[in-house]
């Protein structure tokens, strides 16, 4: 393959197709690489988050771009934390994002016999030994970044002794943590990963695919490069924390007897402001019941984003926009919000919903009369058509759309002020009613029947247009307004996992009756309030629950 020194991989420097990874692949293809084969290798110990979405899009996207294949492989070598629930959720997420592994679904556990045979081979060649040091002693012997390690007192055991002990480990004779199998490499190496790393440990735990067949399990750094080699992976795309592990992966493959040698290319992990990007921390939120499961709409998990109403197109667009580099950085969460809005703005119906209702009574409108008004479903997409909505004497408007003593440049409803009701008429405030606490409970208006929308009225002008719903026919629902789950940046070294107390606001709302038959997962724009989705999981006393996908306003400006 191409010499890495000939390819610049500085932060952000692009290859001719897009990013530095393409430079490697193009060079390899130029050297008659017969095909491209990548893989997405999640560990099934939790639900995937949006950082994994970046890796999914990258690996499957590269394979598609270069006419290759991408495998889905579960790195299930740690039975104590893995479960079939996570396997199924990961498969669902990958499919939902729009990718297909076809017939290439693999499990690391399928290769347990292969790992064992290679371990035996290493022992016979004097390249692996059984060590009795416990975890604390092993840390002491390993040394530091500035000081070399020292050999284990068990490093010079004979081949026969190591074979006997390892086979007895496999037979279940020893307790967890009492012995390990270690590669015999170099305890003075400047790369700590090469200082006789553990390649097998004892774990009397039931595995989700192999049951109780095994009580020894390979370490990730031993199993992972073997899996890539067995599957014929040509390019192993992974995040930067594995860069220092690359020499160990090369050593494992070189000494395994396998012919294939994947090229490993590292890129920076995705970081997003005010967002937890650690599976371990996300698991803690779930286990401590601080969220409504892995699919809580506040969670950055793919299932949480899906439940909130985010589309796969928006996530793919976000992953494309952030790009790939070697430098660690943090993306502003407002970019994801922008991508969501950009995707939804022309594909969703715009409906009227009042989240903080205030009753309006039109005194001169006939009691008991209902008329139907025609309103466009989306001003930016006429192909979505129109709908009929009922108008009557009593309405709801947003409480913020009325002010008893209006401030300067307040163009909404106020005493003796006139506004247009969307798709309907001009109304003028003539009075209002307060309760014993001084809160406004009703606003009384008059309407001008000559000002009906679409009638060609060209008289006086008004600056404000308000959305509204008819009080008699409105559908009562629950709206859940989501904000950033964290107040800090919890994946920073100083991150404290401080949850935002205002990350969820629940309110009773009234919505025009056109949404009465909306299906779970269906998306709408609530005029002036944001994009919302019918929750796929909950209902409130039989009423619909709407999750706010994203608010309408953003300070983010995309690059031109």
Same domain, 323 and 373: no
Residue 472 has pLDDT above 70, yes or no: yes
Q: In terms of Cα–Cα distance, which of 467, 445, 244, 463 is closest to 362? A: 445
**Is 371 a catalytic site residue?**
no
- What's the per-residue H, E or C state across 71-135? EEEECCCCCCCCCHHHHHHHHHHHHHCCCCCCCCEEEHHHHHHHHHHHHHHHHHCCCEEEECCCH
Is the model's pLDDT at 282 over the cut of 50?
A: yes
Active-site hit among 73, 179, 246, 279:
279
Identify whether 520 is a catalytic site residue.
no
Does 357 lie in the same domain as 344?
Answer: no
Catalytic residue, chosen from 269, 283, 326, 399, is: 269
Residue 228 domain-assigned? no
44-53, 65-74, 193-202, 479-488, range with the lowest pLDDT: 479-488
**Has residue 456 got a pLDDT over 80?**
yes
Residue 291 shares a structural domain with residue 338: yes
Q: What interhelical angle do 312-322 and 333-344 show, nearest 10? A: 130
Same-domain check for residues 342 and 357? no
The question of whether 269 is a catalytic residue gets the answer: yes
454 lies in the same domain as 497: no
Average the pLDDT over 280-304 and give the result.
Answer: 95
Is position 7 within any domain?
no
* Rg for the chain, CA atoms, rounded: 31
Residue 281 scores a pLDDT above 80: yes
Residue 446: give the domain boundaries: 353-467
Q: Residue 334 falls within a domain, yes or no? A: yes
Q: Assess if residue 104 is contained within a domain.
A: no
431 with 459, same domain: the answer is: yes
Of 442, 467, 492, the one marking the end of a domain is 467
Chosen domain end from 427, 446, 467 = 467
CA–CA distance from 455 to each of 140, 392, 421 (Å)?
85, 18, 14
| CA–CA distances in Å: residue 527 to residues 10, 285, 348, 351 | 46, 33, 11, 6
Whether pLDDT at 557 is above 80: no
Percent of the chain clearing pLDDT 90 (strictly above): 82
Q: Report helix angle 220-231 to 246-256, nearest 10.
A: 60
Is 47 inside a domain boundary? no
Give me the CATH number covering residue 284: 1.10.1160.10
For the whole prediction, is pTM greater than 0.85? yes
Residue 87 lies in a domain: no
Q: How many CA atoms lie within 13 A of 91 on its CB side?
A: 14
Q: Which of 12-26, 200-214, 231-245, 360-374 has the lowest mean pLDDT?
A: 12-26
One domain, residues 210 and 168: yes
Domains held by the chain: number: 3
**Residue 152: other Cβ atoms inside 10 A:** 22
Please report whether residue 408 resides in a domain.
yes
Same domain, yes or no, for 416 and 451? yes
Matching residue, tokens 């209006």: 406
Task: Tell me: pLDDT of 559 over 70.
Answer: no
pLDDT digits (tens, 9 = 90+) for 107-143: 999 999 999 999 999 999 999 999 999 999 999 999 9
CATH number, domain containing residue 167: 3.90.800.10
Asked if the model's pLDDT at residue 18 lies above 70, the reply is no
Within a domain: residue 492? yes
Together in a domain, 333 and 386: no
How sure is the predictor about 416, in pLDDT bands with cuts at 50, 70 and 90?
Answer: very high
Domain co-membership, 361 together with 416 = yes
Indicate whether 361 and 458 sit together in one domain.
yes
Q: Which of 43, 394, 442, 522 is catalytic?
A: 43
**Which of 467, 492, 509 represents a domain boundary (last residue)?**
467
**Please, what is the Cα angle at 506 between 500 and 508, to 5 degrees?**
165
Under 8 Å between Cβ of 70 and 55: no
Same domain, 343 and 430: no
């Amino acid at each position: 393959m191409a010499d890495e020194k000939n390819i610049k991989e500085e932060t952000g420097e692009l290859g001719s197709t897009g990013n530095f990874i393409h430079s490697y692949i193009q060079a390899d293809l130029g050297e008659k690489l017969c095909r491209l084969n990548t893989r997405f290798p999640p560990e099934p110990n939790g639900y995937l988050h949006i950082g994994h979405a970046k890796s999914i899009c990258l690996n499957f996207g590269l394979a598609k771009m270069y006419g290759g294949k991408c495998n889905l492989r579960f790195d299930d070598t740690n039975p104590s934390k893995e479960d079939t629930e996570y396997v199924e959720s990961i498969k669902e997420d990958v499919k939902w994002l729009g990718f297909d592994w076809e017939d290439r679904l693999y499990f690391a556990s399928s290769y347990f016999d292969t790992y064992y045979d290679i371990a035996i081979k290493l022992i016979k060649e004097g390249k692996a030994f059984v060590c009795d040091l416990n975890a604390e002693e092993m840390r002491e012997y390993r040394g530091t970044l500035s000081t070399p390690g020292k050999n284990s007192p068990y490093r010079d055991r004979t081949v026969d002794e190591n074979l006997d002990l390892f086979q007895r480990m496999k037979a279940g004779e020893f307790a967890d943590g009492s012995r390990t199998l270690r590669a015999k490499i170099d305890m003075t190496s400047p790369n700590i990963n090469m200082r006789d790393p553990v390649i097998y440990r004892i774990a009397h735990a039931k595995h989700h695919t192999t049951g109780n067949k095994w009580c020894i399990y390979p370490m990730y750094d031993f199993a992972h490069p073997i899996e890539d080699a067995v599957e014929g992976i040509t390019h192993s795309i992974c995040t930067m924390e594995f860069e220092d592990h690359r020499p160990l992966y090369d050593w494992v493959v070189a000494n395994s007897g396998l012919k294939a040698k994947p090229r490993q290319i590292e890129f920076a992990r995705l970081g997003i402001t005010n967002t937890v990007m650690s599976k371990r921390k996300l698991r803690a939120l779930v286990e401590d019941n601080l969220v409504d499961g892995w699919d809580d709409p506040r969670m950055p998990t793919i299932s949480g984003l899906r439940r909130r109403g985010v589309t796969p197109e928006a996530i793919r667009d976000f992953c494309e926009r952030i790009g790939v580099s070697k430098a660690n950085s943090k993306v502003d969460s407002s970019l994801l919000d922008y991508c969501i809005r950009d995707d939804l703005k022309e594909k969703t119906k715009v409906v009227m919903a009042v989240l903080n209702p205030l009753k309006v009574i039109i005194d001169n409108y006939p009691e008991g009369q209902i008329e139907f008004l025609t309103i466009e479903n989306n001003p930016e997409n006429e192909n979505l058509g129109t709908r009929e909505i009922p108008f009557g004497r009593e309405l709801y408007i947003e409480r913020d759309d009325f002010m008893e003593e209006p401030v300067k440049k307040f163009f909404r409803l106020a005493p003796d002020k006139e506004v247009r009701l969307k798709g309907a008429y001009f109304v003028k405030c003539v009075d209002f009613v307060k309760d014993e606490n001084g809160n406004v409970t009703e606003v009384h208006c008059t309407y001008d029947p000559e000002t009906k929308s679409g009638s060609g009225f060209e008289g006086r002008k008004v600056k404000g247009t308000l959305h509204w719903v008819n009080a008699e026919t409105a559908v009562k629902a629950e709206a859940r307004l989501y904000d950033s789950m964290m107040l800090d940046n919890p994946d920073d070294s100083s991150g404290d996992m401080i949850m935002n107390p205002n990350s969820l606001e629940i309110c009773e709302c009234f919505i025009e009756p056109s949404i009465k038959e909306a299906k779970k997962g269906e998306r709408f724009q609530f005029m002036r309030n944001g994009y919302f989705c019918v929750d796929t999981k909950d209902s409130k006393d039989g009423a619909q629950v709407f999750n706010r996908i994203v608010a309408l306003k953003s300070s983010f400006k995309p690059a031109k």
